[in-house]
Structure 1
């Protein structure tokens, strides 16, 4: 089995499209409850493929030759899964609650490659 890092992406455009901020508190809370339950169900259904459940991501620091700076990116969380192929890993995230219930934009999946020489 191959390992894959899946990054949950959330953009301001997706947030606007979902009209998340326009919902009243009651509607938003109901969506949050439904979304958490759907996410947990996704986790149960794919438990055999999940290596690291991951977590939400906080603010970002960038370190470069110029020093350390605060930046903003669109990564909101991650999970590590295993699958036979890149395509199979991607299929795990079809209709994921991140973007079907919550105002997420997408999930980007990349293979975790072995270190050279190992």
Structure 2
């Protein structure tokens, strides 16, 4: 089995399309509750494929030759899964609650490759 890092992507455009910020508190809470329940169900259904449940991601710091800086990116969380192929890993995220219920934009899946020489 190969391992894959899946990054949850969230953009301002996705927030606008979903009209998430325009919802009243009651509607947003109901959507959040449904989203969390669906996300947990996705985790149960795919538990055999999940290697690391991951977490939401917070603010970002960049370190470069120029020094340290605060930046903003579009990554909102991650999970590590295992699958026979890249396509099989990607198919785990079809209709995922991240974008089917929540205002997430997409999930990007990339293979975790072995270190050269190992």
Does the TM-score normalized on the shorter chain lie above 0.5? Answer: yes
Other-structure match for 2:36: 36
RMSD: 0.2
CA distance in 1, matches of 2:115, 2:61: 25
Describe the superposition over 1:51-91 as per-residue Cα deviations: whole angstroms up to 9, x where unpaired. Answer: 00000000000000000000000000000000000000000
Q: SS of the residue aligned with 1:48?
A: coil
Other-structure match for 1:95: 95
Describe the superposition over 1:87-113 as per-residue Cα deviations: whole angstroms up to 9, x where unpaired. Answer: 000000000000000000000000000
Q: Which 4+ residue blocks in structure 1 deviate beyond 6 angstroms? A: none
Unmatched runs of 5 consecutive residues or more in structure 2: none
Describe the superposition over 1:12-47 as per-residue Cα deviations: whole angstroms up to 9, x where unpaired. Answer: 000000000000000000000000000000000000
Other-structure match for 2:63: 63
Q: SS of the residue aligned with 1:47?
A: coil
TM-score between both structures, scaled by the size of structure 1: 1.00
Check if 1:27 corresponds to 2:19. no
CA distance in 1, matches of 2:52, 2:13: 29
Number of residues of Structure 1 aligned to a counterpart in Structure 2: 118
